[in-house]
Every structure is written in structure tokens, then in C-alpha cells.
Amino acid sequence: MGSQENRTLHTVRLGRTEYRWCLEVQRRAFALRSAGSIPDVLLLTEHDPVFTIGRSGNPDHVLAGDAERLDQGIDLVSVERGGDVTYHGPGQLVGYPILDLHGFQPDLHRYLRDLEETVIRVLGRFSVRAERHPSYTGVWAGGDKICAIGIHTSRWITMHGFALNVCADLQPFGRIIPCGIFEQSVTSMENLLGCRVPLEEVTGACIEEFALVFRVSAKEVGAGAFLESLHGLAPTSGRAGDAAAAFFEPRDTLTCTGNP
């Protein structure tokens, strides 16, 4: 995709994060990238359980009521990305590219296809044959959706991104209409392969394939250094507050924990 070779992309492994806190990290990074204060960055994480609703989403597509969600420990957040309802949770690799597309190609259709291509290549490295759907954005494998994609852009700066089911618990998807597609079923790498794939291995493959597709040089940046560059943004309450110290150090290993 890139029109400029030798462009550098900073990649940050945040580990497991609470969604609302990570959303604020995204928004801060988005604002700073818009101002030209930080370079292009790819944030990689897995989230505590949450349903998110995009700006064109239908709240009725969340089938679980408030009491059920609270009992299951699943948050509900409305966000500025495109698309409808989806689920994020442990065992799912979520990538948030914060890019200035002026340095690549200012073409949203091309950008979405390149995100799909990145995921398709990652899955291929683990012997999962994946493909695009002729009618919907995202990636499918074995006839089911394995990766959701939803983005937000303003003045060609991007945020939000993709969510790849590695070894995620798929049951919460049954309590929503994923992406508003009534006939859609979802799957995971674990489900297709019959074995658990370490999330850290998939994260590493994702960094490598993203760099190849977007024609950039990937430079890993520790979570601590990155968050300091966001002027001291740090979690202060709830689960994120309890785990704050972990977010300020790069993680050498990150294992898939399956169900929360």
C-alpha cells in the first residue's frame, strides 16, 4: 500500500486491557497523530469482555440484557467506528492502526482491503485458509467470520481496526447479531485448527505481515515509553487501575487465557 518505502511504524503490545481505558489511549494517540506529534503506530491488545456498537449500529442487535451482561462481566460501549455490534474478549487479537494515510494512499477502500490482506496472510502462516466476503468487510475462514474490521478516519488519520479470533470464547457472539449480519456465524483459529495457538505468536506474525503489506519498517516500542509519550495517560480505577503497572512495561510473553 505504501507510496513511500522505508517508512517506520511503531508497534506497541499493550497486553490485556480494559476497553474504555484503551479507547482513551487510542483517542489520545489519534489526536497526537493528527497534530503530527507522534509517528504512525499499531497498538496490539486483547480486551476484557465488551460489546461495542459502531456509529451505524442498532442497539437491538445486542440480545443480552443489562442483567445478563453484568452477570457475565461484559461491558457495553458505543464508539465512533463504522459498523454495527461486535464482541471483544480474551483470546482475541485486536489491532488499532493509528496512521496518517497521506503517507500511504488516501483511499479508504484500499486501506480496508490491506487490513484484510494482512489478516489473511497471518492466518495462512498458521495453515488457516481465509478469504474475503464479496458483500462484507472482514475475513472469513471455513465459511464463518474469523475477523471483524471497523475503522474511523478524520482527515485521513485512522483509528479502531481489526479483531481476530485466536482462541476466544465464542459464546458471547451468540448474544449479539455480529456486525448486524443475521446469517453470520463466527469462528476462531483454535476452533478451526483443533488446538490452541499462543496469542503472542499470532501477534508477532501480525506485526511482520502488517509491515510487509503496508511497506513499512516495524519498530517495537515498549508500552511504558509509548504511554509516557501520551503525556502520562494512565489507568486510575477499576481493573485497569489494578493492572496499571503491567501496562507501563513491555511484555516478553503473553499467553492466551481463554475464558475470563
Active site residues per annotation:
179
Q: Which of 121, 159, 160 is nearest to 139 (CA)?
A: 121
The sign one gets for the Cα dihedral 39, 44, 50, 53 is positive
- d(C-alpha 203, C-alpha 19), whole Å: 18
Cβ within 8 Å of residue 92, ≥6 positions away: 46, 47, 163, 164, 165, 166, 168
CB 47 within 8 A of CB 20: no
Give the C-alpha separation, 259 to 45, whole Å: 16
* Residues 162 and 115 sit within 8 Å (Cβ to Cβ): yes
DSSP string, 160-214: EEEEEESS---GGGGGB-GGG-TT--B--HHHHHSS---HHHHHHHHHHHHHHHH
